Structure 1
Amino acid sequence: MKLSVIILNYNVRNFLELCVLSVQSALLNIDAEIIVIDNNSPDDSCDMMKKRFPNVRLIENKENSGFPKGNNIGVAEAKGEYICILNPDTVVAEDTFDKVLAFADKQKKLGIVGCKLIDGAGNFLPESKRGIPTPFTAFTKVTGLYKLSDVFGKYYASHLNPNQTGKVEILVGAFMAMKKETYIEVGGFDENCFMYSDDIDLSYMVLKTGRSNYYFHETTVVHYKGESTVRDEKYMQRFRQAMDFFYKKHFRSSFLFDVFMKTGAFFFSIVKKKQAVLSRPEIDHYTLISNNENMRVKVEKLLGKKVQLLDNTSENNLNSLQAENEKCIEIIFDNNHLSFKSIISQMEKFSKSRFTFRILPRESDFFIGSDNSNDRGEIIHLDKN
């Protein structure tokens, strides 16, 4: 078996269903397995997995063991030469793993491969590629200086643009592909890691073996980031604790770190004391991309507003749709009609438009999506009264 996809879930049942559907579609021509580890979710995630995906390996933890330990449990059971750590609130394209494995097989000293990540609105997520968070680099992150110039842009690896493949230092835990032997050699995720530092630590441990980590831009994966993180004082405290863990493990205790972090916290509290989650935009127009008129009627009745039916997602059609409407348009992609690759492509292409996006997963009774990277996401059930 060549590839094991490891998905750690906690309490995101509908996102998990969408994720596993996309992964199954992407593994049709690959010798692979899917392993889902559930960290004692209080929802019906496990029941859903057993009913809908009976052939997927499901590990039911009796406690929430955390991200590092949960993934380590999954990797220990993996039979693949390669593993891919994947968040449950992601959607992959049908050719994602084909492309990533083909790229990985060509590298002589392969570390970890990450890919281009976008949020639920189709916007590029800068954490797809990062640099080692030295004290100064972390300072530019928390103060926002990284946005001003490439000189300050090392935190988000500004030496590469989003459409450029190349070596990077740090990759995000939402999508990490590597050889299982590499993961085992460095000890996997450190189970003592604090939030925000586990993927940084693993990436750095792999670099220390002499291997190279890569950002691979030729496939795009949606990462909804379902757990909203308000950029407030609590976020700043957690970020500082994560960086402190990383420095204490890999470097000497640094007076410089304390200076930069305290200064950064000061500016953070003044400039960005609280970043409110963007409110849901008012939807003026709904469009279902499908060939199913019965589904259109069902969605229209559910929403209580007129829903237009389009049977394809050509750029011309969506451009025309945008030009004809001045307010926000919700695009609902029917996965019974469209591939995940097509859906992701359209989300990315029209990310700067007035569109919001939802996906109706194949043979499911809900549609799902989010409007920005801080949004917990929206789930609308078709049988809702």
Structure 2
Amino acid sequence: MKLSVIIVNYNVSYFLSQTLLSVRRALEKLDAPAEVFVVDNNSVDGSVAMVRARFPEVILLENKHNPGFAKANNQAIRQAQGEYILLLNPDTVVEEDTFRVCCEFLDNHSEGGGLGVKMLDGQGKFLPESKRGLPTPRVAFYKVFGLAALFPGSRTFGRYHLGYLDKDQTHEVDVLSGAFMLLRKKALDAVGLLDEDYFMYGEDIDLSYRLTRGGWKNYYFPGTRIIHYKGESTKRTSVNYVFVFYRAMIVFARKHFAPNQAGVFSLLIHLAIWLRAGMAVGRRVLAGVAPVLLDASLLYGGMYLLKNYWEEYQKQGPADYPSPLMQVVVPAYVLVWLGCAYLSGSYDKPFSAWRIIRGIVIGTVLISAGSNFLESYRYSNALILLGAFGAYWRSLAGD
């Protein structure tokens, strides 16, 4: 058996089907015996039924719970018969010649214990994690404090993603990506399987490091490419991802670094956890409030223009409204309209014109009723009605 392909799946049935189709085509070009494993970690999206129906050649291992990425891979590795073992993410697509050229490369480099390839995202952009350096405390410091991002091509600051190495040339690297990790079975037998202390993330760094310490070489090989729909099998911007990933880094440091280095590394990683978690929460909050703030600004501006028009052409009596109108009353109108629209579900997906109408109507009724009780702040009912129409049309335009 030349190659054993192992895919661990969890609730990404659609992407898994695309991966398996590409694997099937690539195996036709390999011209050598091969096998494919799918280890399903208790998916609830029909993944198991899909594999059984569409890919009967696949060896399906169905877990009744989610034991984690490392343990699930090890389940299949222990059964695999291939000279080479490929750990492949379920949100990837390989080229037709990927398996053939990768196996040929390791055939010609007997010292190679592992191999990674050039990875592109769904838009065809190169993914820098295709080649990585060892995350030492110094490298982690440069990444956490943004120096790696500022100077990606620096040999000093860019070591996390080895940005100074040409992405179109073959290189020896420290760390391979678990999204596509081709391993020599003989090397795995020598250094051991994936460390199951890692539930998810970090196990690829750990295994890569053990391979190099065991005398093997890890190669970055751009002779073929894969597409990695990064973020489908794992949502990388979520707070949960931040905590799980960086805590995996702490496990790695405590296992492989000297106590003083591990302590420094742990401090840096904890700092990174809270910085990244704060950024992730901030992005979510901003994404949620930005449409409301935009609507509030446009509504206030529209009411200001309406006020000026009404003063100029329609209003009887004194020319100008008193200053509290724009300082207090109109902000209150906007707050009530948008508050009622929000509570009515106007900002929920999918879009519903009825929810917008309901929210604006309720808000207008509350504003009208409230203005009748507050005579000192009672101005023009026409402005209220025109503002309500403006709020409705702004919400429609926003959706």
TM-score (structure 2 length as normaliser):
0.65
Q: Establish whether residue 106 from structure 1 lines up as the match of residue 108 from structure 2.
A: yes
**Equivalent of 2:183 in 178, 185, 188:** 178
Residue 186 of structure 1 deviates from its aligned partner by 1.9
- CA radius of gyration, larger in: 2
| 2:174 alignment partner in structure 1 | 169
| 2:268 alignment partner in structure 1 | 260
Name structure 1 gaps, 5 residues minimum: 280-385
CA separation of 1:37/1:261 partners in 2, compared to 1, >3 Å: closer, same or farther?
closer
CA separation of 1:274/1:227 partners in 2, compared to 1, >3 Å: closer, same or farther?
farther
Residue 192 of structure 1 deviates from its aligned partner by 0.7
CA distance in 2, matches of 1:188, 1:27: 24
**Equivalent of 2:200 in 182, 195, 212:** 195
Post-superposition CA distance 1:11-61 (Å, at most 9, x none):
111111110110010011232111111111112111111111112211112
Residue 158 of structure 1 deviates from its aligned partner by 2.2
CA distance in 1, matches of 2:22, 2:77: 20
CA distance in 2, matches of 1:72, 1:158: 31
Post-superposition CA distance 1:174-220 (Å, at most 9, x none):
10111112123222110111532111101101111011100001111
Within-5 A mapping of 1:205-354: 205-225=210-230, 226-231=232-237, 234-253=240-259, 254-261=262-269, 264=272, 274-275=282-283
CA distance in 2, matches of 1:233, 1:47: 31
CA distance in 1, matches of 2:17, 2:10: 12
Name structure 2 gaps, 5 residues minimum: 288-399
Most deviating of 7-16 and 190-199? 190-199
Tell me the percent identity.
47
Post-superposition CA distance 1:261-311 (Å, at most 9, x none):
3555676578777456999xxxxxxxxxxxxxxxxxxxxxxxxxxxxxxxx
Residue 139 of structure 1 deviates from its aligned partner by 2.1
CA distance in 2, matches of 1:84, 1:41: 22
Residue 165 of structure 1 deviates from its aligned partner by 1.0
CA separation of 1:278/1:126 partners in 2, compared to 1, >3 Å: closer, same or farther?
farther
Instruction: Report 1 or 2 for greater relative contact order, CA contacts < 8 Å, sequence distance ≥ 6.
Output: 1
Counterpart residue type for residue 17 of structure 1: S
| 1:123 alignment partner in structure 2 | 125
CA distance in 2, matches of 1:178, 1:232: 30
CA distance in 2, matches of 1:201, 1:81: 21
CA distance in 2, matches of 1:61, 1:271: 35
CA separation of 1:68/1:218 partners in 2, compared to 1, >3 Å: closer, same or farther?
same
Contact 2:12 2:233 in 1 (8 A): no
Most deviating of 30-39 and 235-244? 235-244
CA distance in 2, matches of 1:240, 1:116: 24
Paired residue secondary structure (1:222): strand
Contact 2:26 2:98 in 1 (8 A): yes
Contact 2:70 2:199 in 1 (8 A): no
Contact 2:11 2:44 in 1 (8 A): yes
Paired residue secondary structure (1:155): coil
Most deviating of 225-234 and 169-178? 225-234
| 1:367 alignment partner in structure 2 | none
CA distance in 1, matches of 2:218, 2:195: 18
Contact 2:239 2:280 in 1 (8 A): no
Post-superposition CA distance 1:102-126 (Å, at most 9, x none):
1111113111100011111111111
Q: Establish whether residue 81 from structure 1 lines up as the match of residue 83 from structure 2.
A: yes
Counterpart residue type for residue 246 of structure 1: F
Contact 1:143 1:268 in 2 (8 A): no
CA distance in 2, matches of 1:266, 1:58: 39
CA distance in 2, matches of 1:127, 1:187: 24
Paired residue secondary structure (2:183): strand
Paired residue secondary structure (1:132): coil
Paired residue secondary structure (1:27): helix
Post-superposition CA distance 1:203-253 (Å, at most 9, x none):
101111011100001111011120453546654433431221001111222
Most deviating of 151-160 and 95-104? 151-160
Most deviating of 37-46 and 111-120? 37-46
CA separation of 1:250/1:273 partners in 2, compared to 1, >3 Å: closer, same or farther?
same
CA separation of 1:232/1:48 partners in 2, compared to 1, >3 Å: closer, same or farther?
closer
CA distance in 1, matches of 2:49, 2:136: 44
Q: Say what the alpha-carbon RMSD is for the aligned residues.
A: 2.3
CA separation of 1:230/1:44 partners in 2, compared to 1, >3 Å: closer, same or farther?
closer
Post-superposition CA distance 1:126-166 (Å, at most 9, x none):
11110110012112223321122212110002241221211
Paired residue secondary structure (1:154): coil
CA distance in 1, matches of 2:54, 2:279: 47
Within-5 A mapping of 1:350-369: none
Which structure carries more strand by proportion?
1
| 2:309 alignment partner in structure 1 | none
Most deviating of 111-120 and 152-161? 152-161
